[in-house]
């Protein structure tokens, strides 16, 4: 067995943090993605410009830079806003909150494109049929559009989640106690860099494999309405 010098449970705690970060960012990102896709398909030009600006900027700059901008920038922005209301105390944005914001924004920008493609692939007849049955826009979206969009978007979203899972490692740079930072701590006390970074790598691989299995289960579930024979 590999000797982890007692850092095994530390690394597992890191894995829990990594997973929490990934799932929280996924939640934020999915909402941003749906909003972004709706905005890109909006009939109002200004809303389309905003959505295009958002996806172009986020996709064109490195994720590490996004994390750093949010982590260091959010503090000054929040303090400036609070200052307007006469609040002068120091506000600190935690690494976790900054990580969820940055990774959620990144995931949302890519998910916007996935959702937009899926929304556009729903035939017009489906919309018309829903309206003919007397459904309002919200009910039409929940009952008719969303279940189909979900099925079409899932493979793309699954890939994005795997990328997100790996991007969580970047938040260790601003001090979040995830797998990567736990490995850094273990390395600085044991000097066995190769061992601990390799263990960290295999933990990410394990999380990747689990996610892949889960996504393929979800894909089967989402398309259970098809091919029923």
In whole angstroms, the minimum distance from the beta carbon of 32 to another protein comes to: 15
* Closest C-alpha to 141, from 149, 132, 152, 133: 149
- Residue indicated by tokens 């490995």: 183
Taking CB under 8 A as the binding criterion, the range among 86-94, 129-137, 145-153, 202-210 that sits at the site for another protein is 202-210
The residue among 144 and 203 lying less far from another protein, judged by its C-beta, is: 203
Part of the chain binding another protein (CB under 8 A), chosen from 25-33, 38-46, 91-99, 166-174:
166-174
User: Token pair of 169, please?
Assistant: 């490692």
Among 6, 8, 73, 137, binds another protein (CB under 8 A): 73
Q: Does 5 bind another protein (CB under 8 A)?
A: no
Shortest reach from residue 2's CB to another protein, in Å: 14
Is the Cβ–Cβ distance between 108 and 29 less than 8 Å?
yes
- Is there binding between residue 193 and another protein (CB under 8 A)? yes
Q: Are 70 and 58 in contact (CB under 8 A)?
A: no
- Structural contact between residues 117 and 38, judged by C-beta atoms closer than 8 angstroms: no
Element (H, E) at 68: helix 63-84
Residue 208, token pair as written in the block: 């990747």
Smallest distance from another protein to CB 6, Å: 18
Give the DSSP letter string of 167-211: HGGGGGGGT--SHHHHHHHHHHHH--HHHHHHHHHHHHHHHHHHH
Residue 63 is a binding residue for another protein (CB under 8 A): yes
Binding site for another protein (CB under 8 A): 55-57, 59-65, 68-69, 72-73, 76-77, 110, 113, 159-160, 162-163, 166-170, 172-173, 180, 183-184, 187, 191-195, 197-198, 200-201, 204-205, 208-209
């Amino acid at each position: 067995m590999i000797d982890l010098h007692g850092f095994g449970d530390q690394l597992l705690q890191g894995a829990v943090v990594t997973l929490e970060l990934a799932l929280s960012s996924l939640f934020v990102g999915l909402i941003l993605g749906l909003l972004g896709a709706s905005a890109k398909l909006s009939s109002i030009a200004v809303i389309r410009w905003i959505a295009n600006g958002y996806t172009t900027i986020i996709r064109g700059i490195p994720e590490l830079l996004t994390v750093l901008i949010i982590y260091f920038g959010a503090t000054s922005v929040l303090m400036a806003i609070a200052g307007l209301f006469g609040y002068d105390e120091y506000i600190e944005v935690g690494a976790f909150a900054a990580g969820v914001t940055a990774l959620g924004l990144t995931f949302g920008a890519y998910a916007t494109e996935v959702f937009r493609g899926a929304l556009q692939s729903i035939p017009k007849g489906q919309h018309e049929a829903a309206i003919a049955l007397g459904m309002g826009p919200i009910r039409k979206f929940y009952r008719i559009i969303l279940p189909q969009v979900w099925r079409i978007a899932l493979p793309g979203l699954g890939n994005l989640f795997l990328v997100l899972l790996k991007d969580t490692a970047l938040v260790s740079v601003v001090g979040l106690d995830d797998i990567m930072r736990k490995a850094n701590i273990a390395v600085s006390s044991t000097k066995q860099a190769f061992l601990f970074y390799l263990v960290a790598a295999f933990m990410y691989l394990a999380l990747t494999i689990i996610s892949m299995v889960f996504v393929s289960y979800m894909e089967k579930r989402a398309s259970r309405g098809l091919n029923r024979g």
